[in-house]
Structure 1
Amino acid sequence: MPVVVQQGRRRPPRPLAARLLWNGAEVAVTLGLVLLLLVAHQLWWTNRQARAAAEKKVEALEEEWGRSGSQGEGEEAGEGDDDGGGVGQDGPAGGSPAPARDRARDSALAGSRQTARPAPTPHWDQAYAVLRIPRIGIRVPVAEGVSKGGVLNKGYVGHYPRTAQPGRGGNFALAGHRNTHGEPFRYINRLRDGDEVSVATKDAVYTYVVDKTLAQTSAHDGGVIRSVPRSDVRKGYGYSAPGYYITLTTCTPEYTSKYRLVVWGKLRAMRPR
């Protein structure tokens, strides 16, 4: 008796549209995973790396200062009439004399600075100071320049070239990341009038006090880092007389670089090491 073999029914091939849809879904899932990994790298890994490196640099600076004591090596870069960020020449805005209280403070600070040796001129990308902001738990190195690769992406805070150095007359202007790469300036929007900001160098500790904030201005507002800081975009924000200022700048809103957030303060005290 002949054996009858029953053939199974052959599946019809998938329509081309279905195959394309399936392949597209696979590609979308793969891309989603890659993007998720990139986001994790940017928001977590770069912060972890940069914070660890910045903390290590702070410890190295403090150890170096402890070994060398208070011996200085030359003249500090940046004087009171320096202009900030490569913008045009800037004279004292308003031309009005400082109040008597400010003149007395400036005289006292000038006298105390004579007891400390000037700091050496920092080289480009060199970390040479430590910034502390107790209100938001910041302790980070300050390096010369605001390049991303050499300074900001290391988790450091960068000093704008051609602005004053710590404790000098004029404007000691700084920039830092608000998100990723250590994000040292993420919470400077929480600073309030009266909060202290200290800058330690090999020879002295300078204490500034926050007294003004500009929540949002153009990324090209060079006036905020001039020697007498005053916004070119938001009229009425800033100062009108020479002094001893500090400026902190970062991007805003968070996770964008469209605008700049600015915090200003004035020098209150100087303590030689």
Structure 2
Amino acid sequence: MPAKTGRSPLLVLLIVVLVAIVAGAGFLGWQYLGTNVLADRATGQAVAELRQRWADSPTPAPAEGEPIVIDQPAAHQAAWLLRIPKLGLERPIIAGVEAQDLGRGVGWYPGTALPGQVGNFALAGYRVTNGEPFKRIFELEKGDEVIIETEHAIFTYTLTSAPGDLTVPEDASWVLDPVPGQSDVVATQAFLTLTTAEDVIDTPDRAVGFGTLTKTENR
């Protein structure tokens, strides 16, 4: 009887390599395309639900000249809207910066200031994948406006430092201080901090931009 022939080790290796390439391509496709599709759907739903909640709210708007009170949001809830006119961007702001939050919009760092209030209102967002809300953030320059819309007020912050001007390590917590970089100083004005990944691949570097509140309007 003829001897049975086994598979060539080279053939086996080629099959393994091919399977790995296909799996890797599928993973990358999901990360860079699939997560964006899901995030865009979740973002649109969050914006619609937020505006509907505001429309149905029994909370009366403050009278002209009265202080605007911003309620503490529930964790992981769509709380406010972010608009950046220069980028044509509108995204819901979710109360939290966990993966489930950043996949639905832009995340607000719990423990930082509320919109328009004294202290540091700090946000985080993806540059790539998961809807990539900050994909074009490096186009922002000093003097550009970032608008935060709440139930009864619209707060306009003006950038004093562009995100492309500063890179910090991911553990640089000073950027979240009430007065960024001055942990021993008591805040007397309203600040804005924007954070995102510095690179399009996963690295520990973060790009950070800062702004100050320059306008408050009742809506």
- TM-score bucket of the superposed structures, by smaller chain: 0.7 to 0.9
In structure 1, which of residues 223, 228, 232 is the aligned counterpart of residue 179 of structure 2?
228
Q: How far 1:129 moved relative to its partner?
A: 0.2
Mapped to 1, the partners of 2:133 and 2:212 lie a distance apart of 20
1:54 aligns with 2:54: no
Letter in 2 for 1:260: R
Mapped to 2, the partners of 1:259 and 1:161 lie a distance apart of 21
Q: Do the aligned partners of 1:188 and 1:263 also contact (CA within 8 Å) in 2?
A: no
Corresponding residue of 1:267: 213
In structure 2, which of residues 57, 64, 67 is the aligned counterpart of residue 68 of structure 1?
57
1:257 aligns with 2:203: yes
Q: 1:240 to 1:212 in 2, by over 3 A?
A: farther
In terms of fraction of residues, the more strand-rich structure is 2
Q: How far 1:148 moved relative to its partner?
A: 1.2
Q: How far 1:163 moved relative to its partner?
A: 0.8
Mapped to 1, the partners of 2:115 and 2:202 lie a distance apart of 29
Q: 1:138 to 1:113 in 2, by over 3 A?
A: farther
Mapped to 2, the partners of 1:198 and 1:167 lie a distance apart of 10
In structure 2, which of residues 74, 78, 88 is the aligned counterpart of residue 127 of structure 1?
78
The C-alpha deviation readout for 1:10-62, integer Å capped at 9, x for no partner, is: 99976x7x800011101211211111111111000101110121122112211
Q: How far 1:205 moved relative to its partner?
A: 0.8
Mapped to 1, the partners of 2:166 and 2:2 lie a distance apart of 65
Q: 1:267 to 1:113 in 2, by over 3 A?
A: farther
Question: Which runs of 5 or more residues in structure 2 are unaligned?
Answer: none
Q: How far 1:67 moved relative to its partner?
A: 3.0
In structure 1, which of residues 153, 168, 189 is the aligned counterpart of residue 103 of structure 2?
153
Mapped to 1, the partners of 2:2 and 2:196 lie a distance apart of 62
Q: How far 1:71 moved relative to its partner?
A: 2.4
Q: 1:240 to 1:120 in 2, by over 3 A?
A: closer
Question: Which runs of 5 or more residues in structure 1 are unaligned?
Answer: 1-9, 73-110, 233-238
Mapped to 1, the partners of 2:4 and 2:166 lie a distance apart of 62
Q: How far 1:190 moved relative to its partner?
A: 1.3
Q: Do the aligned partners of 2:70 and 2:114 also contact (CA within 8 Å) in 1?
A: no
Q: TM-score, normalising length from structure 2?
A: 0.88
Q: TM-score, normalising length from structure 1?
A: 0.72
Q: Which runs of 4+ in 1 moved over 6 A?
A: 10-14
Question: 2:147 is paired with a residue of what secondary structure?
Answer: strand
Corresponding residue of 2:119: 170
Indicate the RMSD between aligned Cα atoms, in angstroms.
2.6
Report the identity percentage.
31
Corresponding residue of 1:41: 30
Mapped to 1, the partners of 2:58 and 2:161 lie a distance apart of 35
Q: Do the aligned partners of 2:174 and 2:181 also contact (CA within 8 Å) in 1?
A: yes
Letter in 2 for 1:114: E
Q: How far 1:165 moved relative to its partner?
A: 0.3
In structure 1, which of residues 237, 246, 253 is the aligned counterpart of residue 192 of structure 2?
246
